Amino acid sequence: MNINLLEITTDELLEKFGAGKHKPGSGSAAALQGMISSKLLTTVISLTNVPKRQERYKKVLPTLLEMDAKIQKNIFPELTRLFQEDAIQFDKAIIARTERDEEEDIIKSNTLGIKALAELKLSIEIPIEITKLCIELAEISDYVFDNAFQGARGDSQVALSGAVAGIAGCLSIIQLNLLSFGSDEYPWTSKILIETKDLKSKFNKLNEIASSKIELLEDEVFAISNLYREVDQLLNNLKSRTKLTDEDIESAASKLQNLLWTHKGVIWSNNIPNHPVKVLKPNLALKKALAYNYVSVEKLEIIDDDNGSFETAGVINQNEKFVLISNNFDKNTQNFTAAHELGHALLHKQTVLHRDRPINGISKNVKRNFTERQADKFATYFLMPSKLVKKEFYEMFSTEKFIIDEQSSFNLIKDSPSKLRTECRNLRGLAIKLASSERFDNQSFISIAKLFNVSTMAMAIRLEELNLIEF
């Protein structure tokens, strides 16, 4: 073979593989599989090493980069050499075999037969080298699949499967070619058999690993499908109803919260929440559970309506499934607006682009239709669920209902009930103090408003609604 197989087009190369001839043969095909696996792995590692992912993968990047260097400096060049060399060498073996078969002189034919077997030995040694390199690639693929950029696991798995396929092909080639040797070559064939037995043992383990990766991805798909099935059931139940009471809306919020907590391992690929409050993320609920494209933008348009002009804080389009949230407002307003849009996505059948005012959970003297009030209610119930607020309130203030007395006043402000009443002035003032408090009975904690990512006033109103305080 007098051409460089890597310098011809892909179509030409495939044509040569399918031409019904021995060159290039299965050894070159196995090497090519390894070469493709090499390139897929370097792609995944490079995707892992982009600036936006370096922090997330900083613990494994040094190992990945070492593997990448090994692939590019050693494994891929060697496979490239063997890809060409196998085609050349097996061609020599076939030519020698043909000359042997065509020679009529018995003595010369015997000599040519010995030469053919010598060439075939080299044709066996090349696949052994390819096998060893593919084993290295498969082992690297295993690590890359588990530790590198998870969004590129398809490439990692193809690299792993390709390397394993290369090993399997080479082992078959070796065994097939060994059948051509007689008892006089037993010492050599015995040595090859021992070596290939060890290679086959590694192949079996790697083949199991490759299968386990497929099963792992299947399990993830199954888990996601369970999440989507439950979301679909919730949506169908809510959108099929013409009237929803506040109790219905609170129940819907509770079901979504439970769904997010139950499937937290699917929704959060890393930093899985360890506390129910941490799943109350409307942006992730929209993106991961309801499959909306959620985008934070610098500014949205100014709208004029019957209540005057306002800067749009949130936009939802249910037909095209996207939500836009303006970051021109404080974080609490952005969060509440996002929860409001989540309410629309779950409860209503808006068929047009819908724009919302900035919403922070504080009632204002603005006329709002029933769908807006329902979305407001949903946002309140979703961000500040009654059972969870009550539980955290109890853990912070050691009571199911805060009543001003000597002990509670001292624990809160280190002073008398009269002083606390003077400071607060009324029920709302007490609610604000408790919603923002970060210390009680000599214990420090994150305020309940900050814990639930809402404004102090929104939490104060919620504490009143839940009858957790008395003035």
Say which residues have a Cβ less than 8 Å from residue 29's Cβ, sequence separation at least 6.
17, 169
Is 363 a residue whose pLDDT tops 60? no
For 295-315, how does the pLDDT look when each residue is reduced to its tens digit (9 = 90+)?
998 887 777 665 666 778 888
Token pair in block for residue 361: 């959970």
C-beta separation of 355 from 300 below 8 A: yes
Is 20 a residue whose pLDDT tops 60? no
Annotated domain spans of the chain: 5-221, 246-381, 386-470
For 67-106, how does the pLDDT look when each residue is reduced to its tens digit (9 = 90+)?
999 999 999 999 999 988 887 776 676 776 777 777 677 7
Please report, as a single letter, which amino acid is at residue 216. Answer: L
C-beta separation of 37 from 162 below 8 A: yes
At 19, the pLDDT band (50, 70, 90 cuts) reads: low
Please report, as a single letter, which amino acid is at residue 418. Answer: S
User: What pLDDT was estimated at residue 352?
Assistant: 67
What distance in Å separates the CA atoms of residue 341 and residue 335, rounded to the nearest whole number? 10
Please tell me the pTM assigned to this model: 0.72
C-beta separation of 392 from 451 below 8 A: yes
List strand residue ranges (DSSP E) for 149-299, in order: 293-297
C-beta separation of 466 from 392 below 8 A: no
User: What pLDDT was estimated at residue 23?
Assistant: 65
User: What pLDDT was estimated at residue 69?
Assistant: 97
Pairing status of strand 322-326 against strand 293-297: parallel
For 271-280, how does the pLDDT look when each residue is reduced to its tens digit (9 = 90+)?
899 999 999 9
Q: Which CATH architecture has domain 5-221?
A: Up-down Bundle (1.20)
**DSSP H or E run through 355:** strand 354-356
User: What pLDDT was estimated at residue 448?
Assistant: 96
Q: How buried is 198 (Cβ within 10 angstroms: 0-12 exposed, 13-18 middle, 19+ buried)?
A: exposed
For 192-215, how does the pLDDT look when each residue is reduced to its tens digit (9 = 90+)?
899 999 999 999 999 999 999 999
C-beta separation of 257 from 282 below 8 A: no
Partners of residue 294 on adjacent β-strands: 323
For 252-291, how does the pLDDT look when each residue is reduced to its tens digit (9 = 90+)?
999 999 999 999 988 887 789 999 999 999 999 999 999 9
Token pair in block for residue 197: 């037995």
The chain-wide mean pLDDT, for the chain, equals: 88
C-beta separation of 378 from 342 below 8 A: yes
